[in-house]
Structure 1
Amino acid sequence: MYPDLHLFIDGKWRKAKRDVPVVNPATEEELGRLPCADIDDLEDALSAARKGFKIWRETSPRKRADIILKAASLMRERQEEIAQTITAEHGKPLAQARLEVIRGAEFFEWDAGEAMRTYGRVIPAAHGSKLSVHHHPIGVVAAFSPWNFPMSQPARKIAGALASGCSIILKAAEETPGGAVHIVRAFEDAGLPAGVLNLVFGVPSEISEFLIPQPDIKLVALTGSTIVGRHLTSIAAQYDTRVLMELGGHAPVIVCEDADVKKAAISGAIRKMRNAGQVCTSPTRYFIHESIFEEFKAHFVERAAATIVGNGINQGVEMGPTANERRIPVLTKLVEDAVAKGAELLTGGGRHGDIGYFFQPTVLTNVPHSAQIMQEEPFGPIAVLNPVANLDEAIAQANAVPYGLAGYAFTNRADYIDQMIDEVEVGNFSINTLEASLPETPFGGVKSSGYGREGGTEGLESYLTVKNVWHTRKIV
């Protein structure tokens, strides 16, 4: 069921002069050949997006919404086919892939509604003057999506751009291209005008270094690592191009002494292993009150160790492989460094099996601040459990990294909740749940975790310009 892969430029599918293999991370078997765009392809995509923007910006918000909603409906109808593709190229369990398709459709559905609510306003003014504020689509968007959510991550970028009246060139991930292909197919079938949505693949640096300096590119939107985000931001800054950056995280979880210990531990272990830990909001650094630490640790380790690991296509599997072979040595090194500095390894710690890019569900405890994993997001199935004496210490530890994307807490004390809302330095903070975002809520980070927001009523702001109009009856 894996789709034949093509570039999509100016409403037409095309091959490229060069291609590379797409590999199933669970079996290491080739799934298909990925076309890599060259400069001619990118120039055609830019020309198409320029033409598409002129058409789409003049399309009424209601018509835009109708097309977006039709495409989302097609994605829902094709849920099983898209989920099979996601599991094949990424490795996540099929049940999680099915949910990802629905979440991607929800992003489109929410932003379709927001397309009709990009309100301006009239400002009271002195006699004889009229002051008003207007919003306009910013222009052509260059978007870059990662491999960890093959369908829902491209959906965020495409939904925001199309709802706002922008055209877009999407560079989707080389490891997981199929999800974006399915999105484009849905929009093609929904009647989106040619040139509004263009899809390319290839060498990331070649594509970004060509597109970002182009005068027609008015916004660069990325979900990716902080290192890549800083690099693309530095290029964009040379051309005064706006950026929307959803970058890395290293999410803390504060477990207070009044929490339901068993429920918090079990839900934490399950969520940590979701997507094999390859989630920018994945709960990783657990700071647990010392009075409940041993109980929490026992429940957490037991559930983590019981995680069923395997090919995501098989029934009952809870955790698939990491998405590529590069992750295995990185994760192994983080564990070895932590243990060498005094941490205790309670379960896991290495590669799982001989075929596929699997890593064992891993739990480290009493990890010193000097360990690399306390500063670097593992982006894998590794959890750190550390005891703390009080809430102040927990908050200090939570804030002791340069990242601030998501944070979590388990407590029912109102005073603790108020203090953490005020003091934990993250863009998304969840209490008694490990769900970080919904389509109707703004998602993004602080500090080194990025700029701007996707989702919620704030989600279209980056894709719009603001124009102040001052109109007087007489020349003054």
Structure 2
Amino acid sequence: MNSEIQSYWNYCWIDGCKEEWTESTEVINPATGEEIGYIPNGGEELAARAVDAAHRAFSAWSKRPGPDRSRYLKEWARRIRKKSTELAQLLSLEQGKPVSEAEGELGVAAEFVEWYAEEAKRIYGEVIPSSRSDHRITVLREPVGVAALITPWNYPAAMVTRKVAPALAAGCTVVVKPPKETPLIAIALFRELMATGLPSGVANLVTGKASEIGEAWLTDSRVRKLSFTGSTDVGKMLMRQAADQVKRLSLELGGNAPAIVFPDADLDKAADAIVDNKFENCGQMCNGINLIYAHREITQALTERIADRVRQLKVGAGTQPGMHVGPLINEEARRKVASLIDDAREKGAEVRVGGEELFEKGTFYTPTVLCSVNDSMKLTREEVFGPVAPILTFDDEEEVIARSNRTPYGLAAYLFTRDASRIHRVSEELEFGMVGVNGTSLSFPQAPFGGIKESGMGREGGHHGLEEFLELKYIATVLD
């Protein structure tokens, strides 16, 4: 085992120090099924100690000037970039994605830290003209307090920095729980954060029993904010529990993103963008395309273009050179993908490419293209979260908007057309928090990433993401 990877084993970060733990759980490489490390299997006690540290540190950290907080974040970003090659290998090993994708994710992670390093200097208040001459109205923006951040396994580096960076920039202190599937990259990122000289207790990380850690944070009145990225079912549960103390919430939950291709679209560009999005991270992306709606006039032409591109994708362990698609995160995920494809086949779908499990080891599934898909199939209602591109046919704009909006989810949607009027008309009718037009890139540090309906609440990115960690205080002063 690589000695550098072993240096991240079996400890958390509490109060600026490594916290070792006797009870541990293994981390599995999904490409081989082999153990690659161990992490503390902590619970309520560890979670409470993290909050103790964050609460003690909050008063001093929240009062530091923005430029002071900015310097720590800038140094963290610099260290992430310096270690990006090493960190990308670690990320690929525990998550499965190709190293090239892991390197891209580390770049995005650093970009978010750099962005919020600058935003830390721009937390402005307001002086509002009063309707009474003897009063002055002032509005301040103050940090919420201790923030609990729960990150997902599909983008385990970027999601750490997307949550931690704005919280620290705002003046909050944080307690972080990474997922059991991909905790090592979070531990590694925290090592770089601690190396900046960040004051003790400002940022804390614990691993272990999700139910115990979540319960400890949700019932602790010192935790004033919860940010969670994950499934809708878990998000609903956290929302119910957070209601007892009216905690501030940011939730990024499930999605069922449509990609609508109109007959006037550039089909080659549309096919490129759809395949890039759909098969990134083996299809395990919350804003990944779930359904491809092709206008009847161009269904066959678009299907051929997508199928040709998918046939060229190389599948294998992410650490092997030249791979485009790695494994699914675990066997449960693979069984779900296979079950949805079987259901679609039984109801008339045709497998144009793929449709089978791969290799004796690891949780691989072939990149798959399905045509003749109809609305009776389960994969049109459930988030596939795998390397499957279902293609459906539509006849007119009003119809496809109605079919797209039928989902209870509302994270992302995409459309392809060269008609300027249609761009505005359809974008505004789609009931989604984000819409990509003639492209599928949505994650930018300047932009508010997030959804509506059962896809959650709150935003990450831009000044909107900073505001998630700030409270408004209104002061009315009587003048002499």
Same fold (TM over 0.5): yes
Structure 2 SS opposite 1:279: coil
Structure 2 SS opposite 1:21: strand
- Correspondence 1:36 to 2:24: no
- Deviation (angstroms), 1:326: 1.5
| In 1: Cα distance, 2:262 partner to 2:290 partner | 16
The amino acid of 2:365's aligned partner reads F
| In 2: Cα distance, 1:446 partner to 1:43 partner | 32
Q: Moved runs in structure 1, 4+ residues, more than 6 A? A: none
Mapping of 1:26-425 within 5 angstroms? 26-125=31-130, 126-425=132-431
Q: Output one character per residue of 1:419-462: Cα deviation in whole Å (capped at 9) or x when no partner.
A: 11210111111111110220100010011100011101111112
| In 2: Cα distance, 1:163 partner to 1:169 partner | 15
| In 1: Cα distance, 2:272 partner to 2:56 partner | 52
- Deviation (angstroms), 1:251: 0.8
Structure 1 SS opposite 2:331: coil
- Deviation (angstroms), 1:113: 1.3
Mapping of 1:440-455 within 5 angstroms? 440-455=446-461
1:4 to 8, 23, 39: 8
Q: Output one character per residue of 1:41-97: Cα deviation in whole Å (capped at 9) or x when no partner.
A: 222111101012122101111100111011111000001011010001011111110
Q: Output one character per residue of 1:389-421: Cα deviation in whole Å (capped at 9) or x when no partner.
A: 122222112112111111111111111101112
- Deviation (angstroms), 1:39: 2.5
The amino acid of 1:83's aligned partner reads A
**Preserved CA contact (<8 Å) 2:43 2:209:** no
**Preserved CA contact (<8 Å) 1:364 1:383:** yes
Q: CA RMSD in A?
A: 1.1
**Preserved CA contact (<8 Å) 1:150 1:178:** no
The amino acid of 1:336's aligned partner reads D
Decide which moves more: 76-85 or 52-61. Answer: 52-61
Q: Output one character per residue of 1:283-310: Cα deviation in whole Å (capped at 9) or x when no partner.
A: 1211111111100001111211221000
Structure 2's unaligned 5+ residue stretches are none
Decide which moves more: 347-356 or 134-143. Answer: 347-356
The amino acid of 2:426's aligned partner reads M
| In 2: Cα distance, 1:266 partner to 1:131 partner | 53
**Preserved CA contact (<8 Å) 2:40 2:207:** yes
| In 2: Cα distance, 1:339 partner to 1:332 partner | 11
- Deviation (angstroms), 1:339: 1.4
| In 2: Cα distance, 1:366 partner to 1:400 partner | 20
**Preserved CA contact (<8 Å) 1:443 1:455:** yes
1:18 to 1, 16, 23: 23
The amino acid of 1:91's aligned partner reads G
The amino acid of 1:236's aligned partner reads A
Look up the match of 1:426. Answer: 432
Percent identity, aligned pairs only, is 38
The amino acid of 1:367's aligned partner reads V
| In 1: Cα distance, 2:200 partner to 2:425 partner | 51
Structure 2 SS opposite 1:291: helix
- Deviation (angstroms), 1:182: 2.0
| In 2: Cα distance, 1:85 partner to 1:150 partner | 11
Look up the match of 1:460. Answer: 466
Decide which moves more: 387-396 or 133-142. Answer: 387-396
| In 2: Cα distance, 1:266 partner to 1:65 partner | 38
Q: Output one character per residue of 1:297-347: Cα deviation in whole Å (capped at 9) or x when no partner.
A: 011112112210001111110000011221111111111111112222222
Structure 1's unaligned 5+ residue stretches are none
Aligned pair count reads 474
Structure 2 SS opposite 1:457: helix
- Deviation (angstroms), 1:270: 2.9
**Preserved CA contact (<8 Å) 2:43 2:210:** no
